[in-house]
Amino acid sequence: MSAAESQPGEATQNVTAAVLVIGDEILSGRTKDKNIGYIADFLTTIGIDLKEVRIVPDEEDEIVAALNALRARYDYLLTTGGIGPTHDDITADSVAKAFGVGISHHPEAVKLIEARVGKGNLNEARLRMARIPHGASLVINDVSGAPGFRIENVVVMAGVPAIMQSMLDAAAKDFRTGRKMLSVSIPLDVKEGDIADPLRAAQALYDDVLMGSYPKYADGKFSVDVVMRGRDMARIEEARASFLSALETAGTKGA
């Protein structure tokens, strides 16, 4: 079933995903998101293409609108944030609203939280973390006890990176994956404008290899990484050789 078993050239369909980050604290700058980059790496590694990310505030209408736009469009939607015990944690309710289902305390979630905090500390706020939309299955995490959940193609995870990562490991076991996107990176000690023409020529020859160039600026000096991506490493290697040969012909230093 998984991409790892597929043969090169086999017509395995690509699998897509979006990420929805929920939280005023990211938009105000108070908290710097660490989840988007992590999830991007994770999905690329397992053969799922991350196609879009949105960050929205802790406002129900905004969350519901983004949930419905993204879950309809991509194979998976992963959300982070807004599933804690406080009044501003409204992700679970927003998901229930987006799906048009009820929400109530999930017995298994109550047990997981109780086991972690002790029966005496199971106050109303903590019980709030056990409110799960009807029809969802729990996504466990090893760090805090309080679970995330999955409903249809939407996986709802915590915002705290260590907890999110644990939930992603658990949820990803059930993900359908596609052929992995493979890539090579070609670091060049030149300015981007020096390689643009040979790169465009190489791209024209290899339309199954996505070529991008990513300028860097450090210590007052520019350099560039050319990245070639595709699902067939032999084609990527061919494209690389073609580009490097064109660079040499053009006499560009640093190639």
**Under the criterion CB under 8 A, does residue 6 sit at the interface with its own copies?**
no
Among 108, 174, 197, 208, binds its own copies (CB under 8 A): 197
Torsion sign (Cα): 153, 156, 160, 166? negative
Complex with its own copies: residue 151 or 175, whichever CB lies closer? 175
Q: How many angstroms separate the Cα of 16 from the Cα of each of 40, 67, 192? A: 11, 15, 30
Contacts to its own copies from residues 215-254, by CB under 8 A: 215-217, 222, 227, 229
Rounded-to-integer distance, Cα 222 and Cα 212, Å? 16
Binding segment toward its own copies, per CB under 8 A, in 3-11, 90-98, 102-110, 204-212: 204-212
Binding segment toward its own copies, per CB under 8 A, in 1-9, 132-140, 180-188, 233-241: 180-188
Among 6, 68, 153, 191, binds its own copies (CB under 8 A): 191
Binding segment toward its own copies, per CB under 8 A, in 28-36, 91-99, 102-110, 148-156: 28-36
The minimum distance between CB 135 and its own copies, in angstroms, equals 26
Rounded-to-integer distance, Cα 138 and Cα 158, Å? 13
The minimum distance between CB 141 and its own copies, in angstroms, equals 11
Q: Among 37, 48, 3, 24, which Cα is nearest to 179's?
A: 3
Alpha helices in the chain (DSSP H): 24-27, 35-46, 60-73, 91-99, 107-117, 124-128, 161-172, 192-205, 233-250
Size of the site for its own copies (CB under 8 A): 73
Rounded-to-integer distance, Cα 101 and Cα 144, Å? 26
Contacts to its own copies from residues 95-114, by CB under 8 A: none
Contacts to its own copies from residues 37-66, by CB under 8 A: 37-44, 49-58, 62
Contacts to its own copies from residues 118-177, by CB under 8 A: 121, 123-126, 128-129, 143-144, 160, 162-163
